[in-house]
Each structure stands twice: as structure tokens, then as C-alpha cells.
Amino acid sequence: MNTPTTLWQRQLAEAFSSVDALCRHLQLDSSSLPLLPQFKDFPLRVPRGFVDCMEKGNPFDPLLRQVLPVQDELQDFPGYSFDPVGDLNAVAQAGVIHKYQGRLLLICTGGCAVHCRYCFRRHFPYNDLQLSSQKMNQALDYIITRSEIKEVILSGGDPLLLSDAKLCDLLENISRIQHVQRIRIHSRIPVVLPARITDKLLQTLASLPQQIVLVIHANHANELSSDVAVACQHLKQHNVTLLNQSVLLKHVNDNSNTLCRLSEKLFIFGILPYYLHSLDRATGVGHFEVSEQRAKQLIQSMQETLPGYLVPKLVKEQAGAAHKIRLA
Ligand SMILES: *Cc1c(COP(=O)(O)O)cnc(C)c1O
Ligand code: SF4
């Protein structure tokens, strides 16, 4: 990795990568937890700002559960696989996933600021398929020659992990394509590393002729700190539309009060709830699954409590389908 130069890059370099250090910091006895012996493909990674939102001494903290590698990950669940949503079939060329009409997804990088244990792309072959600088022009050509593509979605990994120089260059290159009307960024970074929302990024986003949508990824109200509020406020001031998608996760947010609190806090931050995703069945994540029946009950209960615009759409991703599937 390059020498960190900016605040967010320093914070990223200082993220927890040792389970023992994290447990010590949280005043937890690591020997009493059902930990996975660390494995190198998908090690612990969690920025300190996110850890600051966890409750000390609580091994069941809903944020901790999202990042702590536990033995449950070794359990085999039927129907779970390495490519649960059919990403690999939809790879048009390196870095480009073209699955849905009018929208196309760029795999900007394989890296993330946080390693979420439930991640559906935790087995994705990023080394071959992420968008390296060499493959960038081919990806742009793919978009240029297809006038039906109205929206380009930056995904990953986490696209905001790119440096400002690379990211702004990419955004500007996409923005020059006439038929692209919207640019969407899917990122967990505004939540886990809000210092990444730099002035340079904000200036660039505001300067683009396209409408910009940023879909953040928060699963629990406790993730939404005052630093996150400031980053969101800056994004709003620069005309970025903010949406949230969550994943429904057992023992993290599978409770209607928890989900309602999340929606209400999102709205205070200027973010609209977009999707509540049912878990994608990637190997190693089955212990997070919530049944479809329970998911529908939760949405029903949210509908009874909240105004319609604060109830996210309950969806699942289905390999080969032309769009995400609504469950309720
Ligand atoms: C979710 C997703 C999109 C965007 O779908 P929307 O329903 O428009 O949010 C695009 N491409 C892929 C591969 C996706 O998984
Ligand atoms: S930020 Fe998204 S892509 Fe990265 S590990 Fe978490 S869920 Fe996976």
C-alpha cells in the first residue's frame, strides 16, 4: 500500500486488523469468545471510528457481530456457494458486470475499509476481475458503445477506497459519456470512514453534469455517528441524493424496533431507506440468515409503525433474474 497521506488514509492504515487488539480495546475476554482462528483470505478489518460506536464489554454488540470472525463461519449450509448471485455469469468483461437493463456496474476495486462477515462478494475473484487502470479504457468503451446504458454504478469492493486522483478521474471520464444520465456509488465508507468524504471529492461530485446517487450501507442505527452526520450533510450540500441499503442480519437488526430506529435516524441524516436485502447465500455466512417469513413480518410491522417513505423495499437478489425480487 502507498504511504498514507491524508487523514482518511491514515485512519484506514490504523484500522483494527487483530482480533486480540480489538477485544482488548472493547474490554472483552477473547478466550471466552467462539472465535475463528484468523484466516488470511478475509481477515478482520474495522476502522476505529466504527469500533467507537460499539458498546464496551458487550460480546453481543450488533456492530461487533458484523465484523468479528466466528466459528459459525465454518458451518455448512445447504444452498450456500461461492457465487450466490450469479455475478460471474454477468461479467461482460474485466471490471464490468452488466446484469440489469439500462444499468451497469463497475467493480472499481476489491478492497474495502471494513470486512463485513456477511459479505456476498467475499469469494469474488477480484484479482482477475477488478478494474485496473489498464482495463479502464476498455470498460469506458463498453459504456460508450451502448447507448442504452443510462446509469453507471460504481461498486466493488468499495469504490470510495480509490484515491481522490483515481476516483475523480474515473467519475470525470464517465461523465463525458452523453447517454449516461446518472452515476450511482454504492459504498459503506460514508458510514465506516466518513473522513473519506473529502473536499476534493465533494467538489468533483458537484461539478458533474449527471445526477449523483450515493447508496450508503448502514445496518443499524448505532452506526450513524455524528461524524457520519457531518459527511452526509456535506454530500447533501453538494447535491448528492442519499439512499441506504441494509442487509437483514440475524442478531444484528432482525427486530422491528431496531429497523424502525434505523429508518428514523437515516431520515434525520437526510438519507432515505432504499432496500432491505435478504442475505445473499455466500459460503460462510449462513448463520446470519433470517427466514423469508420473518423478514415479511418485520416489514409488515414497520409498515404499521412508520410512514411509507421510511419503509425500505424488502428484496432478494436472484441469479439470472432481470432485477432484484420484491419479497413484500
Ligand atoms: C443491485 C444491482 C444493480 C442495481 O439494481 P437496482 O435495483 O437498480 O438498485 C445493478 N447491477 C447489479 C449487478 C446489482 O446487483
Ligand atoms: S463493504 Fe460491502 S463489499 Fe466490502 S466487505 Fe462489507 S459488504 Fe462486502
Task: Quick: pLDDT tens for 130-165.
Answer: 998 889 999 999 999 999 999 999 999 999 999 999
Give, for ligand 2, the residue of 45, 188, 246 to mutate: max count of ligand atoms closer than 8 Å to Cβ: 188
Is the pTM higher than 0.85? The answer reads: yes
Q: What angle do the packed helices 199-207 and 164-175 form, to 10 degrees?
A: 0
12 phi/psi in degrees, rounded to 5: -65, -40
Nearest one of 165, 258, 271, 135 to 213, comparing CA atoms: 271
Is the Cβ–Cβ distance between 23 and 30 less than 8 Å? yes
Name 182's Cβ contacts closer than 8 Å, sequence gap at least 6. 150, 151, 152, 210, 211, 212, 213
Nearest one of 229, 218, 221 to 276, comparing CA atoms: 218
Backbone CA torsion sign across 11, 15, 21, 27: positive
**Cα R_g (the chain), whole angstroms:** 19
Q: What local confidence, expressed as pLDDT, does residue 1 receive?
A: 52
Annotated binding residue at 119?
Answer: yes
Name 60's Cβ contacts closer than 8 Å, sequence gap at least 6. 251
Annotated binding residue at 232?
Answer: no
Q: Whose alpha carbon is nearest atom 3 of ligand 2?
A: 157
Q: Ligand nearest 120 Cα, by number? A: 2
Rounded CA-CA distance 16/18 in Å is 6
Edge-first strand order for the sheet with 313-316 is 91-93, 96-97, 103-107, 151-155, 182-187, 211-216, 240-247, 272-277, 313-316, 325-326
Kindly provide the b/e burial profile for residues 9-18, where b requires at least 16 CB atoms within 10 angstroms of the residue's own CB: bebbeebbee
- Centre of ligand 1 to C-alpha 271, Å, is 19
Q: What local confidence, expressed as pLDDT, does residue 38 receive?
A: 67
- Centre of ligand 2 to C-alpha 254, Å, is 19
- 280 close to ligand 2 (CB < 6 Angstrom): no
DSSP state of 46: B
For the chain, the structural domain boundaries read 7-74, 88-326
Q: What local confidence, expressed as pLDDT, does residue 328 receive?
A: 86
CATH 3.30.1330.10 fits 88-326, yes or no: no
- 114 close to ligand 2 (CB < 6 Angstrom): yes
- Centre of ligand 1 to C-alpha 162, Å, is 21
- Dihedral Cα 109, 110, 116, 122, nearest 10 deg: 140
Instruction: Specify which residues 104 forms β-bridges with.
Output: 152
Rounded CA-CA distance 180/154 in Å is 13
- 119 close to ligand 2 (CB < 6 Angstrom): yes
DSSP 147-215: TT--EEEEESS-GGGS-HHHHHHHHHHHHT-TT--EEEEEESHHHH-GGGS-HHHHHHHHH-SSEEEEE
Q: What local confidence, expressed as pLDDT, does residue 2 receive?
A: 57
- 116 close to ligand 2 (CB < 6 Angstrom): yes
Nearest one of 217, 197, 2 to 120, comparing CA atoms: 217
- 97 close to ligand 1 (CB < 6 Angstrom): yes
Closest ligand 1 atom, CA of 245? 9
Nearest one of 310, 288, 286, 289 to 299, comparing CA atoms: 310
- 150 close to ligand 1 (CB < 6 Angstrom): no
Residue ranges of the chain whose pLDDT lies below 70: 1-3, 38
- 151 close to ligand 1 (CB < 6 Angstrom): no
Closest ligand 2 atom, CA of 112? 4
Is the Cβ–Cβ distance between 149 and 143 less than 8 Å? yes
Closest ligand 1 atom, CA of 97? 13
DSSP state of 16: B
